[in-house]
Structure 1
Amino acid sequence: MLGLTLREEFRGKRLKGTAIELANDSNTGATQVQAKAFLEITYPTRDLLKGIEAVGPDQGRPVVVIGERGLGKSHLMAALYHAVNDPVSTASWLESWAVTLGDSSVGKIALRSGMKVIGESLHRQRYKYLWDVLFEHHPQGAYIQGKWEGQGEGKTDVPSDKLIVELLEHTPTMLLLDEFQTWFDGLTNTKQFPWRNWAFNFIQILSEIAKERPDLLVLVISVRNGGSDAYQQVHRVNPVPIDFKAAGNAERIQLDRRRMLLHRLFDNRLQIAGPNIELLVSNHVDEYLRLQEIASSEQDRKRSEFVECWPYAPHLLRLLEEQVLVATDAQETRDMIRILANLYKSRGEVVPVLTAADFRLDDDASGIQALLDSVSNEHHRTLRAKAQQNIISVTEAVSNHTQIAPHLQEIVGSLWLRSIAVGNFAGAEPSVLQADITRSEPIDGNAFQVELATIVENSFNIHQEGAKLVFREDDNPRAKLMAYARNDKLFTDGSDQAQLAKQMRYVVGGTDEVAKTFRVIALPKSWQTDPWSPLEEAEHPERWDDRLPILVLPEEPDHIDQRLGRWLKDHLQKRRNTIRFLLPRSGTINAFLDRDLLILARAEMKAQEWSGQGPEYKKLHTEYQSALRDLLKKRFDRFAVLHRWNFGDPNQCVFNVETLKKQGSMIPEGIEEAITNDLFVPEDFEAFVLDAAADNSPVGKVLRELQEPRPAGHDCIPWMGETAMKERILRFCARGKIAINLRGLEQLQANPGEEEETAWKRLRPKLSFTGRQLDEVFLMEPSAVPATGGTAPLTQVPLNTDTGGLFGGLQPTPVVNVNEPAAGDNPMIPGVGGGIFGGGGAVSGSKPRIPLSNPPTSPLNLIGKLEGWGIGPATQVAEVSIKVSAASGAQLKELLKKLPDGMAFELSLEKDDN
């Protein structure tokens, strides 16, 4: 109407995206088009003018654009790009708006020129290091990069300020970094990869140069909020903040925003005369003022507001801005533009002013679909479906509905839109609905009351709440199910938590392929204090097999290193080095306290239980299960493995925390890839194996030691699983670094001059032993002439002895005397017994032994003492003596029952003479 035309980009059947990119591969980004073309769709808001002034000449402060997604940060930064890159076009644009706005100061804003302008959207993740943006785009970048990298051992982690100043002295630069916080927050920050620290330091260098040498550098960055680490370094130099608040004046913010929206949507909105608009909307405005009982002193201001907002009613814009979009996950301005463009294309030419009644539920093009695309709450979509069903119900129940309810579609559409508002704003009074459907002429009040009553009486989802009418989901399977799921009293048995844990296990390790290699365990809500008792017995550590354990944490630990270190000491007594801890995203609460997750788990569980009541529940089960799994797939983005162990003080433990890029059932594979590529140090593993070969250690002992943390503060070697570790050991054998004695039957070793791959193919099938069989397979240093069979020399097979002389029987188990130590005297075993002539020394060349003892105490304290001495499950000990000063017969019998099978023991005691 009145010749108003949408911009070309909004006229097509499919609305183009309104997101602004500084640059893209198709060269259509905001900084890649001509300044004149870009500025044509740009309204000079106060925030934008503030930014142009801040990057002008004689300004010496960085600029920070602050705002959540969709507010227009990228658009503003693109405008600043053109202001410096093409000051001529920008000056012409400012002068034109100075005339339009009647503000001569706009045309007098000074513009900077003569600078190289570099703009980059960092969320595209094309740069690992921030300085690469400068080095790649600056004409002197390659030279300075080479100069920095050519510093040899003196090269710093971050390019120095002197190098950057030298770069900028060659060509002064304006640097715009869009989505800086998104890029910064995604950086790894570990001891091995301190990339976030480097970026933190480099942005400080840039900030200080921008402040001290504004003639060389103008720095502009965008962040989502001012409390992030990404912003703090720039904040130190007192930047110019642009926060889309128009100096805090609410009326000015609203006026700026509405004018910007209309200018962005329409080619000629400013050319439409105000008196023509006022005449067109007069009937609607008169009825609105009457029905809403607006005071006469306020009516002129309200009429001006209608003219300012046309073709949209101001009460519609307020509804969308203040109630509907804030109830969703919408992207503010960006989604608002899409919704309003679709609404105008559908209804703008047939009504004098657009209201909530124009969101017709029978027409997706009316803005409904654009709105739903922005809505993250499934409730709103369901409510639309219910509203549509109510329309059908009315038409079927009332034969002459076209006469009795001629505004059926408009009333239901308006009520639906107002029902998805937040909190107490949801719903509408009848007078509001009557104002919404008023167009070129007033509607008779009595006829409207009859029409509205007909609609309410024949609908099954419209509820009366005080003076308001509102759509609700009651009286349908979905509502029933969700009401049950929201009732906490019905789940005091913890079944909902068990179901949530089950779904977490399934999402991470539910496929058969994953289950063959990994044991996925979702720890309970009480994981810090009581991790095992709520779980099934098959998931307790003593029942674990050789699969790699992945423990899914329900929450992010507050201090990861200290918390997980203490947890390992308190709740896991062996195989501590095999654990992979799967961590949820930062900022998430405990999954078992997350009401949204619990409700989804409850709904999915109850829908399955009630599936026999009708097919609706089967569909709901599929829907909620899918929704829950989708959330859980996105929940976990990091994992932690032990890096350094400290039994005495678990607070000193250190963990490697790595980012995961894979989701769902791909997480275990992603963990192993990260461990293999980023954490496993082949040199450490090789040194460990070579030391074991020098000691003729059994392979079983080596593998058991690898499953435990390394003592004395050594970095742990990540456990890759028995098969992977055996293959790596066999690789060393194929390279000629070690030899392997196969149970005294065969010695595996690379032949002189044999290629590694040839040796690998020959040797690989021979190391097929597993479990305790590997205790009879020994690592050895390679000999000059490889052995192909026979029995290994006796000195290469460590044995302990039973009692006996020089020719006494051999027994491969330690002797435990519950009263006094037995005196072993086999001279052929190093370090055992007294020697061939009864002396106390060990055979020459044997490893020295460290005597350890502890005063009488409880068994639990003795177990802790073993760990304090560094004695793990694979540690060999000899001459073990456990002394019991006094015991009853029952106690002694109970003690003997608990001694492990497969070992021999000698018993001597003193019995009271009765």
Structure 2
Amino acid sequence: MLGLNLRQEFRGRRLKGTAIELSNEANTGATQIAAKDFLEITYPTHDLLKGIEAVGPNQGRPVVVIGERGLGKSHLMAALFHAVNDAASTGAWLKNWSTTLGDPHVGDIKLRDGMLVIGESLHRQRYKFLWDLLFEQHPHGAYIKGKWEGMGAAKTDIPSDQLILELLRHKPVMLLLDEFQTWYDGLTNTKQYPWKHWAFNFIQILSEIAKEHPELLVLVVSVRNGETDAYQQIHRVNPVQIDFKAGGSPERIQHDRRRMLLHRLFENRLQITSSSIEAALARHISEYFRLLSTPAAEQDRKQRDFVESWPFAPHLLQLLEDQVLVATDAQETRDLIRILANLFKSRGDQAPVLTAADFRMDDDASGIGALLDSVANQQHRTLRDKALRNLTSVTEAVSDHASKVPHLQEIVGALWLRSIAVGNLAGAEPAVLQADITQSKPIDDNAFQVELATIIENSFNIHQDGARLVFKEEENPQAKVMASARNDKLFTDGSDLAQLARETRYVIGGSEEVARTFRVIALPRTWLNDPWSGLDEAEQPERWDERLPILVLPEEPDRLSERLGRWLKDHLQKRRNTVRFLLPRAGTTNAFYDRDLLILARAEMKAQEWGVQNPEYRKLQTKYQNELRDILKKRFDRFAVLHRWNFTEPTKCEFHVETLREQGAKIPDAIEQTLINDVFVPEDFEALVLEAAGDNAPVGKLLRELQEPRPAGQDCIPWLGEIAMKERLVRMCARGKVAINLRGMEYLQAQAGEDEDAAWKRLRPKLAYTGRQLDEIFLLPPSAVPSSGGSAPPVVAPGDLPAGGLFGGGATPTPTANPGEALPYPPSGPGSEQQAPGGGIFGGTSPGSRTTLSNPATSPLNLIGKLEGWGIGPATPVREVTLKVTAATGAQLKELLKKLPDGMTFELSLDKESN
């Protein structure tokens, strides 16, 4: 970076501490090395020059250096030590800086010479009393100490001012007491050990001597603040205060501190020309002005700040000084030097200017380690851990992240650093982050916005605070959910695919009404070659019931008829004509490869999982679920059903493809309406039924045939479901085209002269059989069945039935017929009248005419259906009710009697068989 070199002490792998000690046992303290060597790393700040002038000749006031830890109090006091102890070297140093700064006043500062300089860092606790320091290090100290201790009864608790003056007249002294407040505050002050009281009195003596006899004593004391009692005692004599405020001008303070920092860090910073720096910074500065909309009137001043702060951006230094370090227990300049030294060592050769973006989250050497050591704040360490996890989350969630988020490290590092600032200054606006990562070439605004959005979406601790983005310790629920949803490694078990299939199935067939009629199955992404292995057992074809199957395809097949024909042959062995294929819109990709759909399905899953503990996640679950379902509702716009089947060459199969205008749960009914109105050909169905009736075929066989494709390339008749198909059969009966033999107990056909609608109403409830019962029900031509309004009396063989039934009355004979003859059917339905039997278990007769209705022996469920068919409702009065049970056991009879309703009387008669 333009040949800029760190000082030797900062180049090692392990950075040495920057704390200044006046002296130490290794003789490497600031006052123990040569003045020239120490002053080489010292910049003449306003405070330092003020201090040198205050300890010069003809000055008569004590000097108090006030400032918290790390501001540079010890460094300043060491410089004052050398200014008096080695006036020649200090004078040469001042002359040199006078030329460099172009300020003659610096070279004209007068220096005191010929004084003994005693300096001590009191926090080392090597002296219990201040007079011990004087007595030990002053050449006349032992004599004065002996004189004081030999006073006998006249000896005072502390040496008197006369003794100290006698000492100083022998050899004038400059006394520097560093960390005086730390030492003083640690003293005990009991009746037995009133050491703090003694120190209070002795410092008063020293401060008064320094004021009244400045030629004998120059007193310099450093304290952290002006609240200590020890300082108050010095304050009484109106000392010179050095408080690191550079005369009260904020601009001068900043100017001084930054020059001091750079001089302390680099050995040749002043040798780098301003023109070279401006050229290196040109791109960054211009983008900074553009992105932050810097007014033209401010640009010259800002540019000077950039040049003066180089190699660090002024906004970085301001961030560290005014926001980060102020918010912590950091030791200001001392820690700032360590942080910046590490940052330059790590990134100085890679960037023309160092910004907040150069603090790399995963690299302690980039300055973060020094920063965290300085702040000693667990919250910031925790926040860094969170940021690191967010960094990992982005890299795991974004495939090819190196190209899609090329500035990931820089953005996360800059945002973290800006997020540990104080108060409402925490965080950064996007424009600031873009300026942070801009180096030698500009970054496209749109590309940056996309990159930043990607990082935010896949991080879960980034919060939006007004216009600012900020890292926070608490998780951003939405960001956490979406970050997890984008992490493919969390869903290697395929749970997201299953969730998407569930939502697809729910959107199409989730309502209770739809589920009663339709079986909606969302085929997996491997639908073409392996459709069933990943589905629940209940969705396997062998488990299908009478509901109409709607197979939802995840993608639009190419060469639709060829694909679906081969699919039916390979993957469905029966009921091939019952299937409806629901197709997505043209141009859509496989739903299980559509990342947007998968992300929403994953987000819904994670929000549901975490919503058990946090209601915020339950709200997000609803949000993502609604978004996903809205997309899925609009995804499908067509369906396909088989038109012509070719078993030997399934690729030649043909399909009807019909358009859908309904969405979501309305799709199944829309499919059926389209099939009934546009695809189903009633004439084809009637021709097939008439052919079956001519063969006396069972209804069950006919229905099974309808569920399979028609052979020999015939047009398939769409399967509308068992109920719909049976209703069409009954409708043909009502029109007199066919008759139906109900298991030999009843015949369904239109009666002579009967209106079709009346016949339909009469016959419709009678074909309530299902399953294997339909194999016992046969289709017949209507000519094979008597068509009169009444019925032939049943032919009963003697002894076929017992003389009496369980509930009284005669036995109901079973109809018989000669082989090849049509069976007569018993009276049933409205209009079949005969005289009621004379009495039974349910009471006597009622006067007047009545219609007698009866039904052959069948199950209770079928009898209930008969009641409905006869028009007998809950309030319909009935008389002469007789139930006949041909045979029963005692247990069955007892159980039957228990279930008879209360409030009624019953008559019982039966034939008991002997063993």
- Normalised to the residue count of structure 1, the TM-score between the two structures is 0.52
Q: Distance in 1 between matches of 2:310 and 2:38?
A: 24
The aligned counterpart of 1:279 is: 279
Kindly provide the amino acid, as one letter, of the partner of residue 388 in structure 2.
Answer: Q
| SS of residue paired to 1:30 | coil
Q: Distance in 1 between matches of 2:465 and 2:46?
A: 42
Seen in structure 2, the aligned counterparts of structure 1 residues 476 and 451 have a Cα distance that, compared at 3 Å, is closer
The aligned counterpart of 2:188 is: 188
Kindly provide the amino acid, as one letter, of the partner of residue 449 in structure 1.
Answer: Q
Aligned-residue Cα RMSD (Å) equals 1.4
1:515-544: CA deviation from partner (whole Å, max 9, x where unpaired)? xxxxxxxxxxxxxxxxxxxxxxxxxxxxxx
The aligned counterpart of 1:374 is: 374
1:267-306: CA deviation from partner (whole Å, max 9, x where unpaired)? 0101100010000010000000000000011111111110
Deviates more, 1:98-107 or 1:371-380: 371-380
The aligned counterpart of 1:99 is: 99
| SS of residue paired to 2:335 | helix
1:86-125 to structure 2, matched below 5 A, reads: 86-125=86-125
Q: Distance in 2 between matches of 1:473 and 1:191?
A: 51
Q: Distance in 2 between matches of 1:443 and 1:91?
A: 51
Q: Distance in 2 between matches of 1:257 and 1:473?
A: 33
Q: Distance in 2 between matches of 1:362 and 1:68?
A: 32
| SS of residue paired to 1:326 | coil
The aligned counterpart of 1:26 is: 26
Kindly provide the amino acid, as one letter, of the partner of residue 390 in structure 2.
Answer: N
The aligned counterpart of 2:465 is: 465
1:621-636 to structure 2, matched below 5 A, reads: none
1:158-307 to structure 2, matched below 5 A, reads: 158-307=158-307
Q: Distance in 2 between matches of 1:139 and 1:309?
A: 48
| SS of residue paired to 2:469 | strand
Structure 1 unaligned segments of length 5 or more: list them: 481-612, 614-914
| SS of residue paired to 1:262 | helix
| SS of residue paired to 1:281 | helix
Q: Distance in 2 between matches of 1:461 and 1:248?
A: 40
Q: Distance in 2 between matches of 1:59 and 1:468?
A: 53
Q: Distance in 2 between matches of 1:391 and 1:196?
A: 55
1:326: Cα distance to partner? Answer: 1.1
The aligned counterpart of 2:474 is: 474
1:643-654 to structure 2, matched below 5 A, reads: none
| SS of residue paired to 1:177 | strand
1:475: Cα distance to partner? Answer: 3.6
The aligned counterpart of 2:52 is: 52
1:132-174: CA deviation from partner (whole Å, max 9, x where unpaired)? 0000000000000000000001100010000000001111111
| SS of residue paired to 1:474 | coil
**Identity of counterpart residues, as a percentage?**
76
The aligned counterpart of 2:344 is: 344
Seen in structure 2, the aligned counterparts of structure 1 residues 476 and 155 have a Cα distance that, compared at 3 Å, is farther
1:42-94: CA deviation from partner (whole Å, max 9, x where unpaired)? 00001000100010001111110011110000000000000000000000000
1:376: Cα distance to partner? Answer: 2.7
C-alpha contact 2:148 2:159 (8 A) present in aligned 1: yes
The aligned counterpart of 2:154 is: 154
Q: Distance in 2 between matches of 1:326 and 1:240?
A: 26
Q: Distance in 2 between matches of 1:246 and 1:394?
A: 46
Q: Distance in 2 between matches of 1:474 and 1:86?
A: 57
The aligned counterpart of 2:594 is: none
C-alpha contact 2:461 2:476 (8 A) present in aligned 1: no
The aligned counterpart of 1:16 is: 16
1:473: Cα distance to partner? Answer: 1.9
The aligned counterpart of 1:837 is: none
| SS of residue paired to 2:117 | strand
1:377: Cα distance to partner? Answer: 2.1
The aligned counterpart of 1:325 is: 325
Q: Distance in 1 between matches of 2:323 and 2:431?
A: 19
C-alpha contact 1:419 1:470 (8 A) present in aligned 2: yes
| SS of residue paired to 2:352 | coil
1:327: Cα distance to partner? Answer: 1.3
Kindly provide the amino acid, as one letter, of the partner of residue 126 in structure 2.
Answer: R
| SS of residue paired to 1:327 | coil
Higher Rg = 2
Kindly provide the amino acid, as one letter, of the partner of residue 107 in structure 2.
Answer: G
Q: Distance in 2 between matches of 1:363 and 1:456?
A: 22
Q: Distance in 2 between matches of 1:459 and 1:114?
A: 67
| SS of residue paired to 2:326 | helix
Q: Distance in 2 between matches of 1:21 and 1:408?
A: 42
1:94-137: CA deviation from partner (whole Å, max 9, x where unpaired)? 00000000000100100000011100000000111110000000
1:226: Cα distance to partner? Answer: 1.1
Kindly provide the amino acid, as one letter, of the partner of residue 98 in structure 1.
Answer: S
1:466: Cα distance to partner? Answer: 1.1
C-alpha contact 2:329 2:376 (8 A) present in aligned 1: yes
1:400: Cα distance to partner? Answer: 1.5
1:614-625 to structure 2, matched below 5 A, reads: none
Q: Distance in 2 between matches of 1:27 and 1:389?
A: 47
Seen in structure 2, the aligned counterparts of structure 1 residues 476 and 445 have a Cα distance that, compared at 3 Å, is closer
1:866-902: CA deviation from partner (whole Å, max 9, x where unpaired)? xxxxxxxxxxxxxxxxxxxxxxxxxxxxxxxxxxxxx
Q: Distance in 1 between matches of 2:33 and 2:55?
A: 21
1:328: Cα distance to partner? Answer: 1.1
C-alpha contact 2:460 2:476 (8 A) present in aligned 1: no
C-alpha contact 1:359 1:366 (8 A) present in aligned 2: yes
Kindly provide the amino acid, as one letter, of the partner of residue 133 in structure 2.
Answer: V
Q: Distance in 1 between matches of 2:327 and 2:176?
A: 33
Q: Distance in 2 between matches of 1:96 and 1:327?
A: 38
Q: Distance in 2 between matches of 1:55 and 1:377?
A: 39
Q: Distance in 2 between matches of 1:475 and 1:354?
A: 30
C-alpha contact 1:223 1:230 (8 A) present in aligned 2: no
C-alpha contact 1:342 1:366 (8 A) present in aligned 2: yes
1:323: Cα distance to partner? Answer: 0.6
1:476: Cα distance to partner? Answer: 9.7
1:228: Cα distance to partner? Answer: 1.2
Q: Distance in 1 between matches of 2:339 and 2:9?
A: 14
The aligned counterpart of 2:426 is: 426
1:876-887 to structure 2, matched below 5 A, reads: none
1:422-442: CA deviation from partner (whole Å, max 9, x where unpaired)? 110111110000000001010
C-alpha contact 2:463 2:476 (8 A) present in aligned 1: no
| SS of residue paired to 1:176 | strand
Q: Distance in 1 between matches of 2:78 and 2:465?
A: 48
- Normalised to the residue count of structure 2, the TM-score between the two structures is 0.52
C-alpha contact 2:69 2:332 (8 A) present in aligned 1: yes
| SS of residue paired to 2:222 | strand
Kindly provide the amino acid, as one letter, of the partner of residue 195 in structure 2.
Answer: W
The aligned counterpart of 2:454 is: 454
The aligned counterpart of 1:646 is: none
Q: Distance in 2 between matches of 1:242 and 1:95?
A: 23
